[in-house]
A and B are shown apart, each in its own frame.
Chain A
Amino acid sequence: MALLELRDLHVSYSTPDAEVGAVVGVDLDVDTGEVVGVVGESGSGKTTLILAALRLVPLPGRIVKGSISLGGGDLRGLSPARMRTLRGKDIAYVPQAAMNSMNPVMTVGAQITESLDLHTDLNGRQTTARVAEVLEMVELEGKIARRYPHQLSGGMRQRAIIAMALAPNPQLVLADEPTSGLDVLVRVQLLRLLRRLVDELGLALLMVSHDLPLVARWCDRAVVMYAGRIVEEGPAPELLTNPLHPYAWALARSLPRLHGEDDLERIPGEVPDLSRVPVGCPFNPRCIHAFDLCRERAPQLISVGGHNVACHLHAG
């Protein structure tokens, strides 16, 4: 049994006009020692997926059905108070680097200390020692603890957040575009750091990104989401080199090449409006291979050559 198991998860946002499904029937496992990357454009439901696993979907959204279990224990049935004690302690969250996710009026050290005070019974001196320890773990100097977030660079801030997330020794880390907005060099350093921490500490990491090549390079398994649904999953490097779903294929082609032409191949068409998902396969309006069946019936996720894929092209 995997550490994190999502089964048939449905998350919807109620608008005055309709219920909009942001996550639709997702099954997903993340195991200890494993890095799983969820890939999709913005609006594919990947951020909602992470918030749902934390049970922090903002109103007017809510988890409609399905189950979330951590280490065999059900999370959906927990009382809010019990759920709160799990957050940060067992499930850590690493937000987008581009966001202002640190309290601007507290020092880095105070914010890490806050996590420790919430979830451990270390005394004052042990807490200080642990703060220094986790800062070192993310390759930051100890004096950073006395700094305020605005005094740090984006990369340092993201390291500090990772330190804060890891301080209470969580089992599972949920990272939402942890490197977006950082420059390439810093991004690689951060991903290397994350990978190393997962391996050394035996963490499970679920990472969301819009960048398939990045996921292929750093994750063990990749999951491609479109319009709130999983359309393909498989071993990460494989998914880049041999994508089966036309959408995954397009994502794989859209990488900015370092040499040669730098116009990335854009996926034609618009990201679907989640309140008006087309009948049949949600990707059909943008799919160059779409045929009649695609406009009539939604494909099921089936196993094809080591991948799971939801596409009528591969059904027969």
Chain B
Amino acid sequence: MVTGRYVAGRVAQYALVLLLALILNFIIPRVAPGDPLEGIVGESGALLPVEEQRAIITRLGLDQPLTVQFGRYARGLIQGDLGYSYNKGQPVREVIGDRLPFTLLLLGPAAVLSAVLGVMLGMRAAWRRGSATDIGLLGLVLGLDALPPFFLGTMLLVGFAVRLDLFPVVSSIPVGIGLLSLEGLGELVHRLALPFATLTLSGLGPYFLLTRSSMLGTLGEDHVLMARAKGCPAKQVVYRHGLRPALLPVATLFGLSMGFILGGSVVVETVFSYPGLGRLTYDAVLARDFPMLQGVFLVFTIAVIGANLLADLTHPLLDPRVRSAR
């Protein structure tokens, strides 16, 4: 199948991405200035007693040639070993495993909602090109887009949590929260609302701009004139003949912007003290906990690859030309 070959090509590319991420993870600490042990096990590791340091060096094979080290490193990864955080005193995988669900809970819906909102508003703007709606939305989005997410988050925090006292200042999730009860869910929504709003608002700009310009393009195409000459009502022209063919680049954006959204989650979780991977990253930066940072980077890379793959798989659904071309 042609589609099969297309997907295989993408998968091969993502395998390369993963390999590059691994190589970077391996090389960066080893070319870092200063004590190589610190580069690999983090600052807390370097504070350990000498015998223990020596034990770590032997265990990680840091006295072996680089190729042997890389082999060992890759083998460990395949077995799911992301390293050990001397700062947390826990394997990196465990810590990430604990935090990941929180990030997914926040990020997944925010990524989807920002895409949906961005596309809908972008379509409106393109439809009413040059109108007050279009210009107003454009100005609003450019302004929103210019706000650094952490600043937007801080302002929402000041306004809605500190001054109006509508939401909690710290969005941590209590361990015993009963997600099965209505109350528990309500509590969760209450705590998630502000970081969720921040991520959604700061993520919708690119979708808006891309949908708008992509649709302005399709609305000028011949088949749109044909649709009008056929007697299609405006709504049908806009959705079926304007928006649908314009969605292809938007799907691509979904994959690519995942990296940006993840970056945003780091700062937004930091602002709201939300116990996800982003906040974990921030703590790791402050503690110079390199194994943790590398583990998070790897997990983020895999998430981005997943999002891209998802976008690639929707391509043939959105555009029959992709299905048969190549």
Does a CB–CB distance below 8 Å link A and B in the complex?
yes
Chain A residues within an 8 Å CB radius of B325: 150
Contact (Cβ within 8 A) A99 B222:
yes
Contact (Cβ within 8 A) A95 B222:
yes
Q: Give the interface size class of chain B.
A: 20 to 34
Bound form: Cα–Cα A96–B245 in Å: 21
Bound form: Cα–Cα A150–B229 in Å: 21
Contact flag A85-B221 (CB < 8 Å), given A103-B241, A103-B245: no
Interface contacts (Cβ under 8 Å), in number, total 76
Contact (Cβ within 8 A) A103 B230:
no
Chain B's nearest CB lies how many Å from the CB of A79? 13
Q: Does B318 contact A (CB under 8 A)?
A: yes
Chain A residues within an 8 Å CB radius of B228: 56, 87
Contact (Cβ within 8 A) A85 B223:
no
Contact (Cβ within 8 A) B231 A104:
no
Q: Does A226 contact B (CB under 8 A)?
A: no
Chain B residues within an 8 Å CB radius of A115: 230-231
Contact (Cβ within 8 A) A104 B320:
yes
Bound form: Cα–Cα A185–B175 in Å: 77
Contact (Cβ within 8 A) B324 A164:
no
Q: Does B2 contact A (CB under 8 A)?
A: no
Which residues of A in the span 82-122 have a Cβ within 8 Å of any Cβ on B?
Answer: 84-89, 92-93, 95-96, 99-107, 114-115, 118-119
Q: Name the contact of A151 in the complex, choosing from B241, B318, B324 (C-beta under 8 A).
A: B324
Q: Does B75 contact A (CB under 8 A)?
A: no
Contact (Cβ within 8 A) A56 B229:
yes
Chain A's nearest CB lies how many Å from the CB of B320? 4
Q: Does B142 contact A (CB under 8 A)?
A: no
Contact (Cβ within 8 A) B223 A102:
yes
Q: Does B34 contact A (CB under 8 A)?
A: no
Chain B's nearest CB lies how many Å from the CB of A22? 16
Q: Does B240 contact A (CB under 8 A)?
A: yes
Contact flag A148-B321 (CB < 8 Å), given A56-B225, A101-B225: yes
Bound form: Cα–Cα A161–B233 in Å: 19
Chain A residues within an 8 Å CB radius of B190: none
Q: Does B169 contact A (CB under 8 A)?
A: no
Is chain B's interface secondary structure helix, strand, loop, or mixed overall?
helix
Q: Name the contact of A118 in the complex, choosing from B232, B318, B320 (C-beta under 8 A).
A: B232
Most B CB contacts (10 A, CB to CB) among A54, A96, A114, A161 go to: A114
Bound form: Cα–Cα A105–B315 in Å: 11
Most B CB contacts (10 A, CB to CB) among A54, A87, A102, A103 go to: A103
Contact flag A105-B230 (CB < 8 Å), given A100-B221, A150-B324: no
Chain B's nearest CB lies how many Å from the CB of A77? 18
Q: Name the contact of B231 in the complex, choosing from A86, A99, A106, A148 (C-beta under 8 A).
A: A86
Contact (Cβ within 8 A) A84 B226:
no
Chain B residue nearest to A167 (CB atoms) is: B230
Chain B residues within an 8 Å CB radius of A104: 223, 245, 319-321
Chain A residues within an 8 Å CB radius of B244: 103, 105
Bound form: Cα–Cα A232–B37 in Å: 92
Chain A's nearest CB lies how many Å from the CB of B248? 9
Chain A residue nearest to B229 (CB atoms) is: A93
Contact (Cβ within 8 A) B231 A101:
no
Most A CB contacts (10 A, CB to CB) among B221, B222, B318, B319 go to: B222
Bound form: Cα–Cα A103–B229 in Å: 13
Chain B residues within an 8 Å CB radius of A86: 231
Chain B's nearest CB lies how many Å from the CB of A230? 24
Contact (Cβ within 8 A) A95 B230:
no
Chain A residue nearest to B319 (CB atoms) is: A105
Contact flag A88-B229 (CB < 8 Å), given A103-B241, A150-B320: yes
Most B CB contacts (10 A, CB to CB) among A85, A86, A95, A119 go to: A95
Q: Name the contact of B321 in the complex, choosing from A88, A99, A150, A161 (C-beta under 8 A).
A: A150
Bound form: Cα–Cα A40–B142 in Å: 47
Bound form: Cα–Cα A115–B227 in Å: 9
Contact (Cβ within 8 A) A100 B245:
no
Contact (Cβ within 8 A) B229 A54:
yes
Chain A residue nearest to B241 (CB atoms) is: A103
Bound form: Cα–Cα A92–B229 in Å: 7
Chain B residues within an 8 Å CB radius of A54: 229
Bound form: Cα–Cα A161–B230 in Å: 11
Contact (Cβ within 8 A) B324 A87:
no
Q: Name the contact of B245 in the complex, choosing from A87, A105, A119 (C-beta under 8 A).
A: A105
Chain A's nearest CB lies how many Å from the CB of B3? 14
12 more CB-based (< 8 A) A-B contacts, given A56-B228, A84-B233, A115-B230: A54-B229, A84-B232, A87-B230, A93-B226, A96-B222, A99-B222, A102-B226, A103-B240, A104-B223, A119-B231, A150-B325, A161-B226
13 contacts between A and B (CB under 8 A): A56-B228, A84-B232, A87-B228, A87-B229, A88-B232, A92-B229, A95-B222, A95-B226, A101-B225, A103-B226, A103-B244, A103-B245, A150-B320
7 smallest beta-carbon distances between A and B, as pairs: A88-B231, A93-B229, A99-B222, A87-B231, A88-B230, A148-B320, A101-B226
